[in-house]
């Protein structure tokens, strides 16, 4: 769970890096190989983006549950 602005920025950087990896992989892998390798990466991107959205939509004064 993202708890600080710094963690949110790091999560955004991670998503950007994963997207760059996918873009490069599309250039060198067959459709079948890309589809296989991209599944887990796309899931990771989706999870991190969800965490980012949750953090950004949370009230700043709202305490973070442990």
pLDDT in tens, 4-52: 999 999 999 999 999 999 999 999 999 999 999 999 999 999 999 999 9
Q: Which of the two residues, 30 and 66, has the higher pLDDT score?
A: 30
DSSP track, 2-54: --SHHHHHHHHHHHHHHHHHHHHHHHHS-HHHHHHHHHHHHHHHHHHHHHHHH
Residue 60 pLDDT level (bands cut at 50, 70, 90): confident
Taking a C-beta distance cutoff of 8 angstroms, is the pair 34, 26 a contact? yes
66, pLDDT greater than 70: no
Do residues 3 and 64 touch, judged by C-beta distance below 8 A? yes
């Amino acid at each position: 769970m993202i708890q600080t602005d710094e963690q949110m920025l790091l999560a955004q950087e991670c998503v950007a890096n994963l997207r760059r990896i996918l873009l490069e992989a599309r250039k060198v892998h067959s459709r079948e190989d890309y589809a296989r390798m991209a599944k887990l990466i796309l899931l990771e991107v989706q999870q991190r983006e969800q965490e980012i959205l949750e953090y950004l939509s949370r009230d700043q004064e709202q305490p973070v549950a442990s």
